[in-house]
Amino acid sequence: MKELANHELDERLQKQILQAREALKKGGVDYVVQVCGELLKNNPSAYEVRALLCETLSALDRSNSSTVGWLKNKSSGVQFKVSTRSLLKNNPLELVHRCDEALRKKQALPEVFLALEKAGYALGWLETQVLACQAVVELEPEKSAPRLALARILVEAKRPQQAIDHLEWVLAKEPANGEAQTLLKNASVAETLQRGNWEDTETTFHTKAKDA
């Protein structure tokens, strides 16, 4: 099963997605979550639908800074991780469904997106991996590990400049991070090749590394 963009879906479904996006502009969060959740039940490879669901959830106020709220989220995340542990190896598609189910319940937790990224990798769904890693970065913006994971996938997805942006952030915080340095060199090479200017590759990398 390959990933599907919105334009590859049935025309009737495309109309539902457009209606959901219009509803989001008017603040209809619950409606969008319901529509996207139902669409993903039968079309789990529709990555742009999942992106709309994540965009909708990010519009909610998830910044509950109370101790009770933090503990509740932490507990939910651990429970999700434990309950889905065996699915990655045995049934990654079912793991995707479980992740979508959690998102329908507005459980936008790091553990859910980490599981979604791993399932996406197992299924060869690159856009799903990008989406999941972006969500983790949004949830944990001060951590380097999620940005490194996202950068690796962005290079694979042929979006080296986006990868470079995250790697420069990591190196500004951790100048001696060897993994970030290696990824930055790879991303700089890819970005230079995209521009068709191979001769500038080494200069580009050393300039970016020095600036970072």
pTM over 0.75: yes
150 contacts 137 by C-beta, under 8 angstroms: yes
pLDDT attached to residue 74: 61
Q: What is the pLDDT of residues 175-195, one digit of tens each?
A: 999 999 999 999 999 999 988
Tokens of 149: 């994971």
pLDDT attached to residue 64: 46
64 contacts 107 by C-beta, under 8 angstroms: no
**In the predicted model, is pLDDT for residue 70 greater than 60?**
no
Q: Whose CA is closest to 28, among 72, 59, 65, 74?
A: 59
SS3 190: helix
**In the predicted model, is pLDDT for residue 63 greater than 70?**
no
How many whole angstroms separate alpha carbon 189 and alpha carbon 166? Answer: 16
Which residues 6+ apart lie within 8 Å of 106 measured at CB? 33, 57, 60
Of the pLDDT bands very low, low, confident and very high (cuts 50, 70, 90), residue 72 is low
Mean pLDDT of 134-146: 95
Residue spans of the domains in the chain: they are 142-212
Q: What is the pLDDT of residues 15-55, one digit of tens each?
A: 999 999 999 999 999 999 999 999 999 999 999 999 999 99
pLDDT attached to residue 85: 78
Adjacent-strand bridge partners of 4: 46
**In the predicted model, is pLDDT for residue 61 greater than 70?**
no
**In the predicted model, is pLDDT for residue 116 greater than 60?**
yes
How many whole angstroms separate alpha carbon 189 and alpha carbon 194? Answer: 9
The mean pLDDT value of the chain amounts to: 88
pLDDT attached to residue 68: 41
Q: State percent of the chain over pLDDT 70.
A: 85
Indicate the burial class of 189 (C-beta count within 10 angstroms; 0-12, 13-18, 19 or more).
middle
Q: Which of 80-84, 88-92, 201-205 has the lowest mean pLDDT?
A: 201-205
Q: Whose CA is closest to 80, among 38, 47, 109?
A: 109
pLDDT attached to residue 73: 60
**In the predicted model, is pLDDT for residue 65 greater than 50?**
no
**In the predicted model, is pLDDT for residue 69 greater than 50?**
no
**In the predicted model, is pLDDT for residue 202 greater than 70?**
no
pLDDT attached to residue 83: 74
